[in-house]
Chains A and B, each alone.
Chain A
Amino acid sequence: MTTAPVPAGARGASLAVPSRIGRAGWLAVAGVASLFVVLIGGIVLGSADLAPATTVGILAKRLLGVDLGQTWAPTAEAIVMDLRLPRVLTAMVVGTGLAVAGATFQGLLRNPLADPYVLGTASGAALGAAIAVLIPVRTLFLQFGLLHGLAFAGALLSVTVVYKLSRTSPLSPLTSLLLTGYAVGSLLSAGLAMAMYLSGTGLRQIFSYLLGGFDGTNWARLAVAAPLILGGSLAILLRARALNGFLLGEEAAAHLGVDVKKERTILLALASLVTAAGVAIAGLIGFVGLVVPHLVRLLVGPNARLVLPISALFGASLLAAADVVARLLGGVPVGVVTAVIGAPFFLALLRRARTGYEL
Chain B
Amino acid sequence: MTEPAFLVDGVTVEVRERAILRDISFRLEHGERVALIGPNGAGKSTMLRVLAGTLRPAAGRVQLDGVPMATLTRGAIARRLAVVPQQTALPFSMRVEEVVALGRLPHEGSLRGATPGDRAAVAGAIERVGLGHLLGRDARELSLGERQLVLLALAVAQEAPILLLDEPTVHLDLRHQVEAMELLRDLNERDGTALIAVLHDLGLAAHFFPRLVIVEHGRIIADGPPAQVLTDERIRETFGVEPALVRLAAGVSGG
Contact = CB atoms under 8 A, between A and B. Distances in A.
Given A15-B126, A257-B75, A241 B108 contact: yes
Contacts of A63: none
Contacts of A240: 110
Interface stretch (B14-22, B24-32, B83-91, B226-234): B83-91
Interface stretch (B4-12, B98-106, B241-249): B98-106
A1 to B, nearest CB: 9
Contacts of A256: 78, 102-103, 105-106, 158
A254 B54 contact: yes
Interface stretch (A183-191, A245-253, A314-322): A245-253
Interface residues of B, number: 53
Given A241-B110, A257-B75, A301-B98, A112 B92 contact: yes
Contacts of A260: 74
A302 B93 CA distance: 7
A259 interface: yes
B189 A10 contact: no
B130 interface: yes
B225 to A, nearest CB: 17
A356 interface: yes
Interface stretch (B57-65, B179-187, B195-203): B179-187
Interface residues of A, number: 45
B204 to A, nearest CB: 14
A6 B102 contact: no
A112 B132 CA distance: 29
A254 to B, nearest CB: 5
B186 A255 contact: no
Contact of A248 (B77, B79, B97, B99): B99
A15 B105 contact: no
Contacts of B140: 356
Given A8-B179, A252-B88, A257-B74, A247 B94 contact: yes
B131 interface: yes
B94 A8 contact: no
Interface string A1-45: 001111111101111010010000000000000000000000000
Interface string B29-42: 00000000000000
9 contacts: A3-B190, A6-B130, A7-B129, A7-B182, A10-B129, A15-B126, A248-B99, A255-B54, A302-B92
